[in-house]
Amino acid sequence: MTTLSRRDALFLAAAVAAAPAARAQGGEPPLSMTWDLTDLYASDAAWEAERKALMAELPKIALYRGRLGESAATLRTALQLVSDLTRRGARLFVYASLKADEDLQVAANQERRQVAVGLFAEFGEATSWINPEVLALGAEKIRGFVAADPGLAKFRFGLEDTLRLAPHTLDAAGEALIAQATQTLSGPQQIRQQLVSSDLPWPEVELKRGKVRLDQQGYTAARSSPDRTERKLVFDRFFGALKTYESTLGASLSTQVQGDIFQAKARKYPSALAAALGGPNIPEGVYRTLVAEANRGLPILHRYFDIRRRMLGLSEMAYFDIYPPLTKLDLKFDVPASRRLTVEAVRPLGPEYGKLFAEASAAKWVHVYPQKGKRTGAYVNGGAYDVHPYMLLNHTDDYEGLSTYAHEWGHAMHTVLAVKHQPYELYGYPTFTAEVASTVNEQLLVSHMLKGVKGRDERLFYLDRVCEMMRSTFFRQTMFAEFELTIHEVAEKGEALSGKRLTEIYLDLLKRYHGPRVTIDPLYGIEWAYIQHFYLNFYVYQYATSVTAASAFAEKILGGGARERDAYLGVLKAGGSDYPVAVLQKAGVDMTGPEPYRAMLTKFSRTLDEMERLIA
């Protein structure tokens, strides 16, 4: 969970060095502004002791090698051992990751995270023989074991998935080799993160509000300046800084793409896309239908840009005019207010959801405000099954902060409900459904806010939030997805991917998605270097599919009753007990065809109709 597009608006200028104090409202006790990691481990020393204990346990897995076919009981015991050790390892990783993100400048914490990554590489190597051995036993024997031993019921889905992936599973030696390569293959992402977060000399600019250092945080805060000259200056200087390192950043992303292709070939997939979708069993047609339907809907997006141009009073629209708000909302949403409004917004999800949310959001699960060295963006880490999810925010006391608060709590509540209704082996849901939960919360929030509007400008503000969700989460993420698909296909043809070539490809997409009436300086084609999610191997498309599914669910929830609500909650409670496309289909949303996309784009068009009536 992440730090792209809409949530980039959360970052504050680098000058913000300390978090503001909590401000309680209505006599409520102050909410905690930082998380309590002692729920995971009492200290760094306790973490290290557990790591060593886990490492000492790993050799026990090898005791079952060659024995899985002895009996159903032996198979169950071996799988339970692996599950238990995975559970402990995940908890170790959560702690290491959270500690590292509190302050990226603390070397000891960064080293601990690297050790945790290494632990999982060793764990992967220790378990690499299991799937090949299961496949060697054959489907008939495995299914017979599952039928004979009720204790294997929670492992059934995983075993069936292993059988499904037989054509892409290597022998034990091959699986061990892939596991050993995990840390090396993550190198490009780590290099890019280090360069952009720590080593790149970001420029400083003098704006009306003062001097701003245009790193990632400063850029995302300053790009929405009401002064058009300032906006252009911010874009030119920020992307100019990235352009200086175009070759280096291009080499980094190109190496990442080659790593994706290597893994796809190693597992006998026809392409990197097929490999990325194969794990969660998502039909390739879902990805390609998304891209096709987004391109089909571009005239609606271009219409929005023209409305934006008119509302900003511009004779022409430029790419740096995308981010300033169209109307001013003189309301502040600190954390207590954000919590209260989110409680009200999610009431259509019923009493169980509401009660769990009220309890969870009052606990010490969240690191709320920006501070020096803290990782930017927002995410939820739900990897510690036996504890609770943790949330990182960089809260701003505006509507974007409120919206992201609701968004991230959608993720957290997904985890809470999955843990409550599924065993550890089945609670972990894929990204494809994860972003549905968060985006439903966003859509319920904006619907709730629209009910209480007090004037034309306030209504236009919230209608524009709907449009911005369409622009940033559907169209922009699909543009990213099309970029990813293009650069992988270029590399798979054996063609080179230099930084210059990446910029050319991205600039062509920028121009097509924004249309002929939005001016785009060629310099801005370097924006691909700003998007860290390109290092996550076909990840971003799921934001676009998720906002589409979420739009369908939100319409059903707000226009229906208990049946529609419970169908959606069933998605959250299902966790990872079935494939994500099937989970959504059971709840009444089919992402394999164009219908959900076209319904959402019709809603977008209706929203533009209302905006045009209000500004006429």
Catalytic residues, by residue number, are 408
> Are residues 433 and 543 in contact, defined by beta-carbon separation less than 8 angstroms?
no
The set of residues, in sequence order, having a beta carbon less than 8 Å from that of 464 and lying 6+ positions away, is: 325, 326, 327, 611
253: closest CA among 510, 435, 506, 5?
506
Residue 586: phi, psi to the nearest 5? -60, -30
* Cα(600)–Cα(470) distance, integer angstroms: 9
- Per the CB < 8 A criterion, the answer to whether 429 and 412 are in contact is no
Of 558, 354, 561, the C-alpha closest to 450 is 558
Question: Are 18 and 371 contacting, i.e. CB atoms less than 8 angstroms apart?
Answer: yes
What number of other Cβ atoms are within 10 A of residue 117's Cβ?
Answer: 16
- Residues 35, 366: contact at Cβ < 8 Å? yes
Residues 6+ apart with CB under 8 A from 329: 398, 399, 457, 458, 461
Identify whether the C-beta of residue 324 lies closer than 8 Å to the C-beta of residue 461: no
- Measured CA to CA, the distance from residue 500 to residue 485 in angstroms comes to 17
Q: What are phi and psi of 211, to 5 degrees?
A: -80, 135
Task: Report DSSP letters for 308-369, one per residue.
Answer: HHHHTT-SSEEGGGSSS-SS-------HHHHHHHHHHHTGGG-HHHHHHHHHHHTSS-EE-S
